[in-house]
Structure 1
Amino acid sequence: MQVQVFRSPELWIIVAGYSAAVHVGKLSPAIPVFRQAFDLSLLQAGLALSLVQAAGMLFALLIGAFSAHIGLKRCLITGLCALGLASSSSLLIDHVVSLFFFRFIEGLGFLLVTLSAPAILKQICAPETMSLKMGIWSSYMGLGVCLALLSIPVLFQYFDWKSVWFFLGIFSFLLAFCCHRFVHVARPSTSFDFSAFWDTVKVTIRHPPIVCLALIFACYTSQWLTMIGFLPSIYLSHHIRLELAGVLTAGVAFVNVVGTLTAGYLMQRGMKSKQLMIFGFSMMCLGSWLALEDAIILPFALQYLGVIFFSLFGGFIPTVVFAICLNCAPRANAVASSFGLVLQVSALGQFMIPPLSGLLVGHTHDWSNIAWISTVLSATGIVIVTLLMTRYQKIA
């Protein structure tokens, strides 16, 4: 029985997503260490956080369309190997430029994994279980970041950051081998055809529901990454130890997993997508203000409850976006390109918002200004959700 579980392709695909998200989240608790090692400003720290999204910002749509023509499994394994290579090359990082370079390569690997995995799941999962499976898949970011936030500060007590990065890279290589061994999907029936590839790109960017989902997802991910990325630094500014700050932030990331799984269950039970997303954005806005209000006005317990609400109910949004994206792709071979467009627009937001937030906080010396950014993004998300669901009532 245990052997059969480990042979399950869904297991390795989901674990690959969690592993990729660990590489995204591992930098957040390491920012204080990196700021000291490389003399990083808050703007540079924000850039380091968001640079992992640069590959997605530039290439997600094209790689998504390309993967459908060269093979999803091949893209998944290549992505894991890219993560392994970039992370295990930590011994070569001796300057902020090399840090940024390998962070970009990690972003490329993350992109390949997160583009190909949902399309593979659609191929191998029964239709009646897709909402629940997508809820589990959608938890990859929250759980992966949670694992990073919990483990990295502890590991830093025994190892330097280069050793930790190296072992994370080796783990990615091992996962690539397991996916090669246990994941079996249909291969492309024909050789690569540029005209078919370009047609897939065009039909994707001209499909309004996918464009709207991309904007909605960007409104969610950019503010979530900003909050989670800077939260350990916020807690350190309140004289909380790094280890405790990591645990507190990991708790925030973990409840995001609970939110994604809950949304999958609620969708399986028939709850409307529109209600879940509008509620999620509303709670992110409210939670950000509670979380970042001055400690003189609100006790820390209430501030922490605010950031819990922010992450928990915000977790409704990715599950709904991914589930709708699977069903609203313009055609069967455009699923990966649809996710590519969603991730590309999202990556643009994640690339821009953290550095701008760091610049704003560095100029004003007031962390609560991040709540204004959350408010604008949440309001924009609600407007787009309303427009999308009004125009396409079948997906509401």
Structure 2
Amino acid sequence: MANAAVTPKEPTQTAWLEVFLLWFAGISAAMQFAKFSVSYNELLTYYQAGPTWTGAAISVVGIIGLIFGVTAGLMAGKIGYRKVLLGALLLGATLSFIQSTLPSFEIVMATRVLEGFSQLGVVVAAPTMIARLSAPQHRSITMGIWGTFFGVAFALAGLFGQPLIAAFDLNGLYFAHGVFISVMIIALLLLLEKDESRFSDAPVPNQDSYWQKMVNIYRTPQTLLPGLIFVFYTSTLVSLLTYIPNFISSDALRPIMQVLLPLLSTAGTFLAGTLSQYVLRPQRVAQLAYAGLALGGLVLAQDFASPLLFSIIVGEMVLCAGLIPGAALAMVPRLARNSAEQANGYGLIAQLGNLGATVGPPSYAAMITLFGLYGLVGLVLFVCGMGSVFALLAARLEK
């Protein structure tokens, strides 16, 4: 008979320095997406591989998370979260330095596949460690901070990417990314405690096969429901950011909104962490977020003639959508019964999040092609209905 896990005492104080270091590690990993997105046109010109293959060089990183997200959660708990994090960052830095030499496109694609494993290791290990380094009164806030890492990475890449390319070509951009990750590795080695027990519970003996463990993860509501709430967010936000600007008739307002919308999404994610900590349970925050997104969609369907009013409504929708990942990430440590379930929950979020980002844009594109703005709104309402149902089920896990 298996012995119960020995759960370390909850920290009474949040290790803010280490939390922010782990957040920066997440930003450096998310830049594996952002650096190829911001340099897409230059990659297209340099390699002459065509839009399809060049686009695949961006998305293949996420496909690894789609396939191996849950597996990464299982392995991180077995190997040790600190080791997985540092190993993933070391792999990422090495691959960026290889890319900075501008090798053949085949080698670039191989490095992108491996970067998928690097990125996945970080997004499974880092939030689990942040949760264990956070005092209960700050945990939802730190999860909200963590949830902004993707948006912040794209904002930084948008701010510094083109100037780096202009000054040092593609080589400079990818080399700078390798240096950034290397700095994070050194900082974490110096400042992150080496004791792995600080980041996880004592392991519970488990004789289940690998496939049985996989099935159990999908059958466990504590790990599954946050991921299901998250998948509808990723399927929608990427699509809103991609397609909504095309409906803004003002040529002057459109580029402004293309910058403002990702910032609103990031602000919403951080706000969700604060709300989840001090005002509402994260499950309720997710319900309110989906309700606000649906309400914005219904108003948007009125097809206002004013581009400014249209943009304000879109901004409200993106802000509400941004609340969802903060709520889902805050939900994981709240629902999980041990660090293994936390890691599995984050692994499942990585997997289902990549699924949403993969199937969402073509689904929205098809609906827009068939029904225009009404097709987009209709799919938003369906997504909000499903997300609300899973948020309600998650709320029932806590009495």
Q: In the alignment, which of 362, 383, 386 is matched to residue 383 of structure 1?
A: 386
Is contact 2:229-2:390 (8 Å) kept? no
Q: In the alignment, which of 75, 88, 101 is matched to residue 84 of structure 2?
A: 75
Write the distance in 1 (CA, Å) between the matches of 2:192 and 2:305.
50
Structure 1 segment 48-197 matched on structure 2, within 5 A:
48-93=57-102, 96-184=105-193, 186-187=195-196, 195=207
Write the distance in 1 (CA, Å) between the matches of 2:65 and 2:208.
22
Deviation at 1:117, TM superposition (A): 1.0
Match of 2:238 in 1: 225
The residue type equivalent to 1:353 in the other structure is G
Write the distance in 1 (CA, Å) between the matches of 2:166 and 2:337.
50
* Closer, same or farther: CA 45–395 of 1 in aligned 2, 3 Å: farther
Write the distance in 1 (CA, Å) between the matches of 2:302 and 2:185.
44
Question: Using CA pairs below 8 Å that are at least 6 residues apart, which structure has the higher relative contact order?
Answer: 1
* Closer, same or farther: CA 157–93 of 1 in aligned 2, 3 Å: closer
Q: In the alignment, which of 237, 248, 252 is matched to residue 261 of structure 2?
A: 252
The residue type equivalent to 1:325 in the other structure is V
* Closer, same or farther: CA 123–101 of 1 in aligned 2, 3 Å: same
Q: In the alignment, which of 215, 220, 226 is matched to residue 207 of structure 1?
A: 220
Is contact 1:52-1:103 (8 Å) kept? yes
Q: Secondary structure at the match of 1:343?
A: helix
Q: Secondary structure at the match of 2:359?
A: helix
Q: In the alignment, which of 300, 324, 327 is matched to residue 320 of structure 1?
A: 327
Deviation at 1:257, TM superposition (A): 2.1
Does 2:317 correspond to 1:310? Answer: yes
Write the distance in 2 (CA, Å) between the matches of 1:330 and 1:7.
23
Unpaired runs of 5+ in structure 2? Answer: 1-13
Does 2:37 correspond to 1:28? Answer: yes
Deviation track 1:267-314 (CA, whole Å, cap 9, x = no partner) reads: 2222244443234335546767999999xx745544543443333221
Write the distance in 2 (CA, Å) between the matches of 1:39 and 1:57.
28
Deviation at 1:125, TM superposition (A): 1.5
Deviation at 1:265, TM superposition (A): 1.6
Q: Secondary structure at the match of 1:55?
A: helix
Write the distance in 2 (CA, Å) between the matches of 1:231 and 1:86.
34
Match of 1:15 in 2: 24
* Closer, same or farther: CA 192–56 of 1 in aligned 2, 3 Å: farther
Deviation at 1:150, TM superposition (A): 2.0
Write the distance in 1 (CA, Å) between the matches of 2:364 and 2:50.
13
The residue type equivalent to 1:78 in the other structure is G
TM-score (norm 2): 0.80
* Closer, same or farther: CA 226–179 of 1 in aligned 2, 3 Å: farther
The residue type equivalent to 2:32 in the other structure is H
Deviation at 1:223, TM superposition (A): 2.7
Mean Cα deviation higher: 173-182 or 31-40: 31-40
Count of aligned residue pairs for this structure pair: 382
* Closer, same or farther: CA 108–286 of 1 in aligned 2, 3 Å: farther
Mean Cα deviation higher: 261-270 or 64-73: 261-270
Match of 1:344 in 2: 351
Is contact 1:283-1:313 (8 Å) kept? yes
The residue type equivalent to 1:34 in the other structure is L
Write the distance in 1 (CA, Å) between the matches of 2:123 and 2:318.
20
Mean Cα deviation higher: 337-346 or 279-288: 279-288
* Closer, same or farther: CA 65–150 of 1 in aligned 2, 3 Å: same
Write the distance in 2 (CA, Å) between the matches of 1:28 and 1:286.
31
Deviation track 1:224-267 (CA, whole Å, cap 9, x = no partner) reads: 234446789x69x9988xxx95x753432222221112112222
* Closer, same or farther: CA 209–123 of 1 in aligned 2, 3 Å: closer
* Closer, same or farther: CA 290–391 of 1 in aligned 2, 3 Å: closer
The residue type equivalent to 1:203 in the other structure is N
Q: In the alignment, which of 335, 341, 356 is matched to residue 342 of structure 2?
A: 335
Unpaired runs of 5+ in structure 1? Answer: none
Percent sequence identity over aligned pairs: 21
Deviation track 1:137-159 (CA, whole Å, cap 9, x = no partner) reads: 11111212211122223333323
Structure 1 segment 233-312 matched on structure 2, within 5 A:
245=255, 249-284=258-293, 298=305, 300-312=307-319
* Closer, same or farther: CA 103–249 of 1 in aligned 2, 3 Å: farther
* Closer, same or farther: CA 329–204 of 1 in aligned 2, 3 Å: farther
TM-score (norm 1): 0.80
Write the distance in 2 (CA, Å) between the matches of 1:9 and 1:114.
16
Deviation track 1:38-77 (CA, whole Å, cap 9, x = no partner) reads: 4566554553442221111111111111111111011111
Deviation track 1:151-202 (CA, whole Å, cap 9, x = no partner) reads: 2233333231232012111211221121121111642698998846836544
Mean Cα deviation higher: 329-338 or 91-100: 91-100
Write the distance in 2 (CA, Å) between the matches of 1:322 and 1:208.
15
